[in-house]
Homo-oligomer: A and B are copies of this chain.
Amino acid sequence: MSGVRTLVLATRNAKKVPEMRAILAEAGLDIEVVGLDAYPDAPDVAETENTFTGNALLKARAVAAHTGLPAVADDSGLRVDELNGMPGVLSARWSGRFGEAAGDRDAANLDLVLDQLADTPEERRGAEFVAAAALVLPTGREHVVEGVFRGTLTTGPRGGNGFGYDPIFVPEGETRTTAEMSAAEKNAISHRGIAFRALARELLALG
């Protein structure tokens, strides 16, 4: 048994909370997961670090300090081989479209990556989704893990599910993009699933 009864997931994304709940339940952990909806005054933390683990820790620390509860935060993005691992931590703002709606910004970001790779042949179109997940306990103890999900980039978007770069990312061994998979299919193999399951094992080990 882990000593943790409740944890706060440092996200306002409504889809991440049930994903985390399911992963903890699968791991045999009886832990209540609440999102930041329950904490409207929680601070908005700027992602100023240049690593995923650094940003996940920043957010988890701030939420643990604000709530007094164990907190989990994640940060994720796309690393493109031909772009030396960029957009990386800049994935959500790669095209510099700060002011636009998320859907338009997503489309601008992936269009820019496709343009930047316009002359890149198939064998050099490798990429990976990466997610860091950090757990910060009120005692100050910190755990951070990273999940990596390899694939290749298409030459044009395909599929309407998911978000971000999903329409151009084909996982290794797949022919579909992650935007052509259901949320459940993607969660079973994705970078955030890998990272959240690794954190679940950390929580089990804490008992």
Contacts and interface: CB of A to CB of B under 8 A. Distances in A.
Given A96-B118, A112-B112, 15 more contacts: A46-B119, A50-B82, A50-B120, A50-B124, A83-B90, A84-B84, A84-B86, A84-B88, A90-B116, A94-B116, A96-B112, A96-B115, A96-B116, A98-B115, A98-B118
A33 to B, nearest CB: 29
Interface of A is mostly: loop
Contacts of A46: 119
B86 A83 contact: yes
Contacts of A85: 84
5 contacts: A84-B84, A84-B85, A95-B115, A96-B112, A98-B115
A202 interface: no
Contacts of A98: 115, 118
